Structure 1
Amino acid sequence: MNTKTLPVLSIATLAYLIQPLTAGEWSRWHGPNGDNIVEAAKNFNPDLNNWKISWQEQVGLGYATVTTADGRAYTMGHDGESSETIVCFDAATGKKIWDYTYQGDLIPKMHVGGPNASVVIDGNNAYAISKDGQVINLNAKNGKKNWSAKLIELLEIELPNWGFGSSAVVYKGDILISAGKTIALDKRTGEPSWISNVDRAAGYGTPVVFTKSGKDYIAATDADGISILNASNGKEIGRHDQKVQYNLNATTATMLNDEGAIFFHNNTNSAVLDFDGKSLTEKWSDRKLKNPFTSSVKYGNSLYGLNGKQGSSAILYSLNTSTGEHNWEVRDYGFASLIGVGETLLILTEDGNLITAPANAKEYKEISRKKLIDKTCWTNPTYAGGKIYIRNDQGILICLTPA
């Protein structure tokens, strides 16, 4: 491993850029602050033996996370034939409030298929992206369509190998979507505001907006690496090339500080990059640290994430962001996903075990573990409004509440 010292600061520079959120809501990909952590969790009980299944529903094939707003829960799924559905539930009861069904391709390449993106809620608007690249804006209250657009036509690209994976990111008056090129669509009309000046094969990660020295930038991944774009016009400013296996660059970059330090990882390599306003510089990298599409969680000077591909050999780790040195490793976690709830890691393994553990860089110690669901779980859990949501690729959605 090649290491150099990197100053450690904190993320939290984006709150003013994104729609206002009620404490405890998870209305977009990676949660309230875009860092995969919900901080408003003082009453969270990490002992899963004190949680019960409140309700369970079938939402269709796919991997879309659950998002929440105003007492409602949203997700997406596919019927396995020719239709996708966006669905809205009463978060308290699981009663369906509305659904919106449309023609959409399954694209089951090396997985069951179905949508990847989260439904993003911005006030009275819901923004969804289908597996085949339809961008759909619905009224979040009643499910009526406001507008739709097709990424393949707007970006003049072919369908990516694994369909589209990026969730929408609300930024000022636009929504941002990455698929090789990054596009800003007027969130009221769906008309393009700008398209980035790049022409690379699509990645599957969601773009990240960040601020450095008073200027806004976008970290956007594609099949061959990561670019830093001007947030006002999409012009590429910095670039780091990283060829990945199968062109499967599907993780969301993790901002490490307010000065442009970025953790970028995929199924081939992991690296910390420093953006100085003009270019990207690699601070350290580790080709042994690999993950196809599970994003990491940052607490202080430490990152928590998964190393490895599908199967029981995958490793849960904590590492020092300054040096890349590992604090600890735990084997046999399978291809898990994780979020942060207060100071607790909430981990969902691919075989349906939900696990809690302190976000502690000194040692790893499980608090509790509970088997809740079968089949393949590649979707991040959600914690919002005092509830835990998990789903599998077959579309079984479970809502847990304190017992």
Structure 2
Amino acid sequence: MAKACSRAAFIALAAFASISTAVLRADDWPQWGGPQRDIVWREANVVEKLPEGKLPRVWSAPIGAGYAGPAVADGRVFVTDRIAEKNLERVLCFDAADGKPLWQHSYDASYGISYPLGPRATPTVDGELVYTLGAVGHLLCLRAATGDVVWEKYLVDAVGTKLPTWGLAAAPLIDGDQVIVLAGGENGALVVSFDKRTGQELWRALDDPEVGYCPPVIMEFGGRRQLIIWHASHVSSLNPATGTLLWEVPFPLQAALCVATPRQVGNRLFVTAFYEGPMMLDLGADGVTPTVLWTTGKGNNDLKNDSIHSIMPTPIFTEDYVYGISSYGQLRCLKADNGEMVWETLDATGKGRWWNAFLIPHGEMSGRRVYIANEQGELITAELSPEGYREISRAELIEPLQPIQRRMTVWSHPAFAMQSVFARNDKELIRVDLKK
């Protein structure tokens, strides 16, 4: 009887430990937009009110220049940079706990693109492998533990990629056994799927003279998984298994400036561009019958508008409202049913062309509690609601080092993982602990 009780107690204790571990396990940020690629931070027990002044760092590690945000997975941090004087792009890996360098892999990459600072696309980590896409077309699959090359492709040669003005920027997407890349290639190779383990091409889809910069995402509409590709001329939906076109809606863009990740609520899909502004689609009950619900108001443009004309930041889309940063830094709230502006403020940002701030909802995408990483290197906690913007706290996260429009900026999206924020500029990668 005593043995039975002891065994039962052991099982109960083990079960409790297992549950506790699951509850307390720190989340990763293994790709662009986090675990679900939706730019939402879901970890619990993180601070709501930041300390004043400069945020204390767990560690700092020297790196080179680049726009690509970090990825965090399995106790490692991955980031890419460029050493301009040597014409090198690099993939760097650090220990997430203490910032110790673990490995680096470099390769020749001569730039002929505008804003030649460095790579743009966040690394994508999938178990034992990490995938990176360089600004001028180098697609790599490396072993996450060692940096050894598993396979690599130069997309200009492999699929005829025509480099866009500002370089390739869309982070690779893993779906099952494939890695999907916005390649901008010829002969129906705007989007290309490769076997993630071997690099063998599986399928290719779409033609467009301009590729754009928006990362591919998979969403479900009408009970069907769909690969959403927003490119320079259309918003397109593909069968992610085959690349077969399901539907598309024309949305021609000046300068191919599609950057912000599309947002979904129910059967509605929202996109926003710098010059043309937003478009709201309803895909119908079957998920493949798109209707344009509304676009930006007549006469609106990047200089004068009452909508959300985003250069880079991805908006927050709730059931009834859309919150986002417009072309000159205005943080705005729109009604989701018709695009009417509810309010605007410059309190979280600043006024200037291409002003940028990343909005990261905490918890689910309610739009209430958000972290805002603005281009001045500040981290803000705030609440967004139809009533307005309410700032909770603000602190200095990282130094802005890039001159843009006569102001200093940092345009790299942070990673939120391990109850911390990981951020980079053109000289360092840092970790700041945000645990309660």
Asked if TM exceeds 0.5, the reply is: yes
Query: What is residue 387 of structure 1 aligned with on the other side?
Result: 420
Provide the C-alpha distance between the structure 1 equivalents of 2:116 and 2:136, rounded to a whole number of angstroms.
14
The code of the aligned residue for 2:309 comes to K
Provide the C-alpha distance between the structure 2 equivalents of 1:42 and 1:284, rounded to a whole number of angstroms.
39
The code of the aligned residue for 1:113 comes to L
Map 1:251-266 onto structure 2 (within 5 A).
Answer: 251-257=260-266, 259=267, 261-266=268-273
Shift in Å, 1:42: 3.4
Q: 1:76 to 1:48 in 2, by over 3 A?
A: farther
Question: Which SS does the other structure have where 1:398 is aligned?
Answer: strand
**Structure (1/2) with the larger helix percentage:** 2
Provide the C-alpha distance between the structure 1 equivalents of 2:144 and 2:51, rounded to a whole number of angstroms.
31
Deviates more, 1:296-305 or 1:171-180: 296-305
Q: 1:382 to 1:341 in 2, by over 3 A?
A: farther
Check whether the contact 2:72–2:78 (CA below 8 A) recurs between aligned residues: yes
Identity between Structure 1 and Structure 2 (%): 28
Q: CA RMSD in A?
A: 2.1
Deviates more, 1:182-191 or 1:369-378: 369-378
Provide the C-alpha distance between the structure 2 equivalents of 1:361 and 1:98, rounded to a whole number of angstroms.
47
- Of residues 316, 336, 344 in structure 1, which corresponds to 2:357? 336
4+ residue runs of structure 1 moved beyond 6 angstroms?
none
Query: What is residue 291 of structure 1 aligned with on the other side?
Result: 310
1:199-219 deviation line (CA, Å, top 9, x unaligned): 442111101111223322111
- Structure showing greater relative contact order (alpha-carbon pairs closer than 8 Å, 6 or more residues apart): 1
Question: Which SS does the other structure have where 2:84 is aligned?
Answer: coil
Query: What is residue 236 of structure 2 aligned with on the other side?
Result: 227
1:314-336 deviation line (CA, Å, top 9, x unaligned): 11123332332333211253422
Deviates more, 1:319-328 or 1:207-216: 319-328
Check whether the contact 1:339–1:380 (CA below 8 A) recurs between aligned residues: no
Provide the C-alpha distance between the structure 2 equivalents of 1:327 and 1:386, rounded to a whole number of angstroms.
33
Provide the C-alpha distance between the structure 2 equivalents of 1:279 and 1:149, rounded to a whole number of angstroms.
36
Q: Is 2:274 the partner of 1:267? A: yes
Q: 1:383 to 1:67 in 2, by over 3 A?
A: same
Question: Which SS does the other structure have where 2:430 is aligned?
Answer: strand
Map 1:81-230 onto structure 2 (within 5 A).
Answer: 81=85, 82-109=87-114, 111-180=115-184, 181-230=190-239
Map 1:317-332 onto structure 2 (within 5 A).
Answer: 317-331=332-346, 332=349
Q: Is 2:376 the partner of 1:361? A: no
The code of the aligned residue for 1:391 comes to R
Deviates more, 1:331-340 or 1:24-33: 331-340
The code of the aligned residue for 1:389 comes to F
- Of residues 373, 382, 386 in structure 1, which corresponds to 2:399? 373
Check whether the contact 2:384–2:390 (CA below 8 A) recurs between aligned residues: no
| Structure-2-length-normalised TM-score | 0.81
Q: 1:402 to 1:36 in 2, by over 3 A?
A: closer
Check whether the contact 2:383–2:389 (CA below 8 A) recurs between aligned residues: yes
Provide the C-alpha distance between the structure 2 equivalents of 1:47 and 1:300, rounded to a whole number of angstroms.
29
Query: What is residue 398 of structure 1 aligned with on the other side?
Result: 430
Shift in Å, 1:198: 2.8
- Of residues 36, 44, 59 in structure 2, which corresponds to 1:33? 36
| Structure-1-length-normalised TM-score | 0.87
- Of residues 58, 62, 68 in structure 2, which corresponds to 1:64? 68
Consecutive unaligned residues in structure 2, runs of 5 or more: 1-24, 185-189, 402-408
Query: What is residue 246 of structure 1 aligned with on the other side?
Result: 255
The code of the aligned residue for 1:104 comes to A
The code of the aligned residue for 1:169 comes to L
Shift in Å, 1:382: 1.8
Query: What is residue 18 of structure 2 aligned with on the other side?
Result: none
Q: 1:271 to 1:62 in 2, by over 3 A?
A: same
